Structure 1
């Protein structure tokens, strides 16, 4: 027998046996089925929305309504950017664009015509402040602002009124949402909330 070092995986029990397979480098396509030319950006937060996560099963006020429950959390846990006397501004958990906020009265009320003068004033004031804060943080080019009144009009939670403040930028409606039906969000919601709260105007 020839003296000398034993090749790894041969007769040396201290070394693992050599694999008969060539090493394979994983890619973004692994596990998605038949190979095709497309890369995939996964947006599981949208599936949670589609599946109805956090959607109340009742129209009643209370802990079953997320907009009633959120004000009882800390600002960080509830993703609240700012509070006023009769309403608050909170990040949308399933945003259409980065910085998508909602302005919500504390009171569980469905219809805009049912708001008190103080609630109308605070919803309007917080909407203005939300626009200013988003412009400071991310230089939004424009906004979509509005509320869907009733399920037939597209309100996800129709029983508790909420006004959307959606920042817009030139080119934000590109091939991703139009063709791929995918929205890419480059920042965690908690980080967005912290930036907006820090830059929220007081007037």
Structure 2
């Protein structure tokens, strides 16, 4: 466990050290959850427009996936593990380059990573195979949001990795629920 923690710290310091005024602005923008609200609204509208009732069911299942990812990361993991964010951690906190404030006290796991990966993976699993470019774009988006949290000094790579894994699992669960309801109730397919 000590080796993992040491690796996590070393990787964090390496990734957190790559700074410039330009990237400070970009990463702060990417990490701001409110910036993405128009994207989420457009996503909801497009799913419903192209898939009608099935799209509404997709939106509900996606919302359940993200809600569960957020609850597990913020409501269960953070209070249970109480792992301090790098910027709150004693000596480490004095050497971390924090760009836009530190955030809450605990950082394990990253809700940003969990939520963005829940969205990206859910959509990658639900969209047709011919939409490869969109799937790649969604995964790059989730990775960028996740990396921005390390860049800004508020999460260790381990926080991000486990958060992304939680997002992937809740996306899979959302897809399972979506497909089960779709098969069982013909209302969603007519």
Which TM-score applies when normalising by structure 1? 0.27
Higher helix share: 2
Point out the structure with max Rg over C-alpha: 1
Which TM-score applies when normalising by structure 2? 0.29
Greater relative CO, 1 or 2 (CA 8 Å, sep 6+)? 2
